[in-house]
Amino acid sequence: MLTDPISVMLTRIRNGGRARLEHVSVPASRTKREVARVLEECGYITSYSLAETAGKPAIVVELRYTDGKTPIIEGIERVSKPSRRVYVNAKELPRVRNGLGVAILSTPRGLMSDEQAREAGVGGEYLARVW
């Protein structure tokens, strides 16, 4: 039983990068698709696509590497968990690695990066950080 599907997705991406895989597959949901969209917009993954694995919908995430096969994603971790939700308002939006990373937020206007949330002037649930 998956108790935190977003955390499972982030762990698969982290482990796939460390294993130098070209792509990883995760069970599909609307929220996970939006997380993949934000990662693609910020340049942390090459692309993502919807597919079917064993008759169930899945998201295939194409991982991105530098020239020397070093993963672009150095670290990715869940912040807000089912056991401890973390919310931030528009004035307290986090800076990951002093602006070198990205915070993924769930806002009333959908999932977005911390930079997009600053421009929109909204806060929300602090889902994850990527650097």
- Summarize pLDDT for 104-117 with one digit per residue, the tens: 999 999 999 999 99
pLDDT at 97: 95
Choose among 33, 92, 3: nearest CA to 103. 92
Over residues 64-92, mean pLDDT: 94
pLDDT at 120: 96
Over residues 41-52, mean pLDDT: 96
pLDDT at 2: 59
Number of domains in the chain: 1
Over residues 71-98, mean pLDDT: 95
Three-state SS at 36: helix
E-strand ranges in the chain read: 23-27, 45-53, 56-63, 76-78, 87-88, 102-107, 110-113, 124-130
Residue 122's domain is classified under what CATH number?
3.30.1490.10
Separation CA 129–CA 70 (nearest Å)? 19
pLDDT at 68: 76
Separation CA 49–CA 76 (nearest Å)? 20
Over residues 75-92, mean pLDDT: 96
Does the pLDDT at position 30 exceed 60? Answer: yes
End-to-end CA distance of the chain: 29
Separation CA 4–CA 84 (nearest Å)? 12
Domain that holds residue 47: 5-130
Average pLDDT for the chain: 95
Over residues 79-85, mean pLDDT: 95
pTM: 0.92
pLDDT at 54: 87
pLDDT at 1: 54
